Amino acid sequence: MFTGLVEAVGEVSARHEKAELVELTIESELIAAALAIGDSVANSGVCLTATKVEGDRFSLDVAPETLRRTTLGALSAGDRVNLELPLKASDRLGGHFVQGHVDEVGRVAFAGDRDGDYVLRVEHKSEGDPLVVEKGSVALHGVSLTVTACAAGWLEVMLIPHTLDVTMLGALAPGHGVHIEYDILAKYVARFSEPYLGN
C-alpha cells in the first residue's frame, strides 16, 4: 500500500530480457539504501519486488501480466521512473490509498500551461467514467492527484511546480501512455452497486 507521494525519481540503468520476464535495474541512492531483497517498491505506480540491491541500484523482475498492462516494457536505459516505498502504519497519509495496481494505460491529450496553471489531460476508457469525480483522487504514474475536471473519456489534473520538480510527470507529452489507478474507494462503491444497477 502506498500514498502516491513520490520519494525519488530513479533512472533505469539497465534492462535485460529473461525468458518471459524483463529485468529492470533502477538507480536511486535514496530508495536503494532503504530496500532489502523481497521488499516492495512502486515504480511509476506499479508495485514490484526488489530482487537485487547493490549499492545505489536495485533490480526488479517485470512479469508478462505487468508488461501487458503497463508501459514498463518500453523502458530502456536512461528513462526515469517515479519511486515510492510502501506506507508504514505510523506514517501520515498525505495522499490517498494507492495499491500500485494499474487499472489501465491512459493517453496524454494535453500537457502544458493553461491560464497560468500546468494542466494534464488524460484520456481513458469509458469503464473509468464512474470512477472519476471532480475533486476526487486519482493516481497517475504513481502520483496522488486531485481531479480538477472530468467528462466522458477524460480527466484533468493540475500540477503545481513542486510536483513538476520532484516527479517525472513534466516529461509527459501528448500521445504518451500514463498509468492510471482509480481510487480504491470508488472501485469498491461501483462494485457493490452493480446488483442494484442492472446493466
Q: Which residues are catalytic?
A: 2, 40, 47, 49, 63, 101, 146
Phi-psi category of 177—alpha, beta or left, where left has phi over 0 and alpha has psi -120 to 50? Answer: beta
Residues in the chain: 199
> What are the φ and ψ backbone dihedral angles of 195, each rounded to 5 degrees?
-60, -25
Q: With contact defined as beta carbons under 8 Å apart, do 64 and 26 qualify?
A: no
Residue 87 to residue 109: CA distance in whole angstroms = 31
What residues contact residue 72 under an 8 Å CB cut-off, 6+ apart? 22, 24, 43, 44, 46, 62, 66
* Single-letter residue type at 185: L
Q: With contact defined as beta carbons under 8 Å apart, do 84 and 5 qualify?
A: yes
